[in-house]
A = this chain, B = another copy of it.
């Protein structure tokens, strides 16, 4: 069914059945569209489900409540990792998640989420908005009838939780460690027995000794997970994710049929939520770090320069392999690398130089 025919059907019947088309059936009453937003998040999880919920409300407000969005936790409508397919096929209108979850469809998606030694929060969003990232992403997603939008980045993550000190690569070999994504590939190459576990299973696995360590996000969400109760050392910095970037996607056929103002309103809603959520990570991470150390006696440990350089060397290898998987991934990789190069040069005399001077003058010593 093409869009025009679909719209005529909607007009005639006040509703529409999702048939052979990939377009879903928003319940239409008095011009109000009802969207289902499936997410990859547990119900009410802070910084994740809460953000999807706020995004839904922003979309409603910004469209004069002509688009209403109902948010579903992982598993409520479809399992977490089927969210993309659900939107692609029209079972849901939108998803909220992280693009690397769709790596199985195209390795290119990795570049729109978290890349080891990649881009920091604002750098990553800047690449997508202004550096050609969105255009590459649109090409990749359009193959699946999806239009994607970037949301918040978590900011620089922590390296993870261990029960023994890690000084050199040998100390990592054979450890069972939870780390998803490209970072996990890097550790695997270095001899780590990398495992991936859904959020709810990580704490019990660490408590029982089924895994030796885990990374999660940063001080805020890691404190919520109470890892400090079952792990002693908290390593930094998280080379593997200078930020996990969240995203949402909308059924492309549906998107193309919205009015110009509705599309602008949705874009504005995503950009606002990205900003607000990034700032929440920033504020709560710094506050939680203090609590973890002062109240829970967490011992912070810095990855040695030797380890950080090993991680970097292996990251280059893994990214080069990944980036050459297929034409679309190569395009994303090349665009990302170009922006990365400029960002590293600018950070050296901008953010890095400032933070270094500030730390020397105002840090605790």
Binding site for B on A (CB under 8 A): 57-58, 61-66, 117, 120-123, 125-127, 129-131, 155-156, 158, 218-219, 236-239, 242, 261, 264-265, 267-276, 278-280, 282-287, 289-290, 300, 302-303, 305, 308-309, 312-313, 339-340, 342-364
Partner of A312, one of B261, B289, B346, B362: B362
Given A122-B155, A156-B351, A283–B359 Cβ distance below 8 Å?
no
A348: chain B residues within 8 A (beta carbon)? 359, 363
| Interface pair A364/B345, CB less than 8 Å apart | yes
| Residues of chain B with a CB closer than 8 A to A129's CB | 276, 279-280, 283
A349 touches B271 (CB 8 A): no
Which residues of the partner chain B approach A284 to less than 8 Å between Cβ atoms? 130
Number of copies: 2
Inter-chain contact B269/A131, CB cutoff 8 Å = no
**Contact A268 B58, beta carbon cutoff 8 Å:** yes
Give 23 A-B contacts (CB < 8 Å), ordered by A residue: A58-B264, A62-B62, A64-B261, A117-B361, A120-B354, A121-B122, A122-B278, A122-B282, A123-B282, A131-B283, A155-B351, A219-B346, A239-B357, A242-B358, A267-B272, A302-B349, A312-B360, A312-B362, A345-B364, A347-B358, A352-B356, A355-B355, A356-B356
Are B345 and A302 interface neighbours, CB within 8 A? no
Residue contact B62 to A268, C-beta cutoff 8 Å: yes
Nearest CB in chain B: distance from A275 CB, A: 4
Asked if A271 contacts B275 (CB within 8 A), the reply is yes
CB distance from A58 to the nearest CB of B (A): 5
Given contacts A129-B279, A268-B62, A309-B361, whether A237 and B353 have CB atoms under 8 Å apart is yes
